[in-house]
Amino acid sequence: MTGALSSSLRRAQSLLAPLAERLEPARRAIDLLERDLLPRTAGGDLYLVAGIVGPNNAGKSALFNALVGRALSPSLPAGGATRRLVGAAHPSLLERLRSEPTLSRFRLRLIGEDSARPEDALRPAADPAELLVAAEPDLPSGLMLIDTPDFDGILGENRLASESLLAVADLVIAVVTRHSYQNREVVVFLQHWLDHGRPWMLVYNEAIDARVARSHAAKLAADVGTAPLASFWAAHSIAVQDGGIPLEPQVLDGDRSGALRDLLFDLGEIAKVKSRAAAAAVARLRDEIQHVAATLVAEGEQARSVLDAAAARAREAGVEIASAAMPGGPFIEAFRTILDRRSNPLSRSWRATVRQIRLRLESLPRLLRGRQPSSEPGAEGADLSAFERDALRAAWPGLWEEMARDLGRETRHRARRFAPPEIARLLDADLADERRAAALARAEAEVSARPAEIEAFRGACERLVDAAIERRGFDLDIQAAADVATIFPLALAAAVIVKTGGLGIDIAVAGGGAASAFLMEKYAHLVGTGIVAEARRSWMDLRGGQIADALVDSVLEQAAPALRLSVERETTLATELRALAGALA
Ligand SMILES: Nc1nc2c(ncn2[C@@H]2O[C@H](COP(=O)(O)OP(=O)(O)OP(=O)(O)O)[C@@H](O)[C@H]2O)c(=O)[nH]1
Ligand SMILES: [Mg+2]
């Protein structure tokens, strides 16, 4: 294995490990990495794991014992004897694996040591990946043979043991008989585990004759969809059942001859199979990684749609709240800036002089009337946040009820119905009735803690003014207005233009309000009243969006950060995983 590959594998491990508890394909990928691929990279592909799998009572243990050369794995005429993974390997291999446990794909319990006996195979192990293993000097040193329980019976532990072998086996020896070769469950199981080009061999046991064995073996191979490295057969034999002779399957294919044992113990053959197995294991990992990425993308989309639903509702409220009041200053200042830029140099220098004469705000008639914020805004005049707080309180019942109904327990919105359980739990907690008052308090704090982005609004106003003057043409009236503007002091940002509903006109509040209202009217008249409406729309858009964000954060206090994390995972982690899967190709 190359250095680039091993660094990709380690990267995959670090990305997938945090997801393993939550996502099944990530757990499988980690299992494959930790038990198979990483030990393989670390130990230079030390040995071949050949696992014998198959349905109940097919003769797996009989075959295993025949290959080992003694009755190591229990085998009963009625079947059902094997309840856990039983293995055999050369003593030198076992010694190496025991001194370097990271190279081992299984937790080993050595027969003869570790207080383990062959009869233990009759009982399931607590850990399905634990291997009861015997040292057998007659086996090749690069081979580990493993017998498994059936994978098609009703016993769940049996299947788990088979699967934990298949997660890491290099070579699969599938044993079937005429009773099972066409079982749907057998075919589907083999299809699944022999995917990705993992090498396998087929043993058709208890055959009537070679011709029937050949046709049934071909049928199974076609159903599984992956050609076996070789197919073997063994005739039905009472002597095998009685333990008189070992089960010795022979090659079925035309161009080879010999026993399964000869092929399996051939060192050249082992090396070839090993390199194919490594490639297949990488392909399986790649597939699991793609799976994880697809799951993250789906989760991210679900999270995004919950956030979108919340944001859409919050935006309605945000725009409504922002429409309650708009700062007048930036609008006036935009006129000043644009007019200054457009007027002639003489007028500009005149204005520079006049600007020295600072008319005091207090000398202007105050225009404070109409709606007032409920709490005293302070001596300087109305401040925006007091109007916003009032509007927020007015909008709150509608906002809360709709959010709770759509995204809370009632799950009216389909985005909520598809939300994963942990997100659903957070939404329920956030939108619980008891949190309503606290959420409002948080929303008020959040809205006032996020000051309006006046600069962005000023920029928008400048563009509006520029376009309006462009349409109208710069004439003497505007020139005069520009001159008048100069005598008003600039500190107008605090002025607030309040929505007056049915009254039809806006009211300016604040110290500089009189000036700003006067100027706004004058300018609006000069370039068309539509410009005020446009400025208001632009304000509602900018500030409404800002308020909406604060509302989402307050209403979905716990869920919003979790949802954002999920969206982020989709964009960054899924992309990285996909790139990694590509690099493993
Ligand atoms: N008559 C006959 N019996 C066989 C043959 N092969 C295996 N057996 C017997 O069938 C019985 C079951 O064989 P096992 O090897 O235990 O089957 P298994 O696949 O390991 O069964 P489980 O571990 O229960 O899944 C044993 O008594 C074997 O001796 C055969 O070709 N002919
Ligand atoms: Mg068995």
Per-residue pLDDT of the chain (585 residues; tens, 9 = 90+): 567 888 899 999 999 999 999 899 999 999 889 888 888 877 657 788 999 999 999 999 999 999 999 989 988 888 788 899 999 999 999 998 888 887 888 889 999 887 788 888 888 888 888 999 999 999 998 899 999 998 887 788 888 999 889 888 889 999 999 999 988 889 998 998 888 888 999 999 999 998 999 999 999 999 999 889 889 999 998 888 888 899 999 999 766 668 888 888 887 888 888 888 888 889 999 999 999 999 999 989 999 999 999 999 999 999 999 988 888 778 877 887 887 787 777 666 666 665 554 443 333 333 333 333 333 333 333 577 888 999 999 999 999 999 999 999 888 888 898 888 889 999 999 999 999 999 999 999 999 888 888 889 999 999 998 888 888 776 767 777 666 666 555 444 446 677 665 443 456 555 444 555 666 667 777 777 678 888 888 999 999 999 999 999 999 999 999 999 999 888 899 999 999 999 887
Answer whether 580 contacts ligand 1 (Cβ < 6 A). Answer: no
Both tokens of residue 506? 């806006």
Nearest CA to ligand 1 atom 16: 75
Q: How far is the CA of 119 from the centre of ligand 2 (A)?
A: 12
Q: Give the residue ranges of DSSP H helices in 126-237.
A: 156-166, 184-193, 210-224
Interatomic CA distance for residues 173 and 194, integer angstroms? 11
Closest to 324 measured CA to CA, from 511, 544, 515:
544
Pairing of strands 143-147, 48-53: parallel
Three-state SS for 84? coil
454 and 327 Cβ atoms separated by less than 8 Å: yes
Answer whether 82 contacts ligand 1 (Cβ < 6 A). Answer: yes
Please give the distance of CA 426 from its chain centroid, rounded to a whole number.
Answer: 17
Three-state SS for 240? helix
Interatomic CA distance for residues 412 and 142, integer angstroms? 61
Answer whether 302 contacts ligand 1 (Cβ < 6 A). Answer: no
Q: How far is the CA of 333 from the centre of ligand 2 (A)?
A: 88
| Main-chain dihedrals φ then ψ at residue 200, nearest 5 degrees | -145, 160
User: Which pTM was predicted?
Assistant: 0.69
Q: How far is the CA of 254 from the centre of ligand 2 (A)?
A: 30
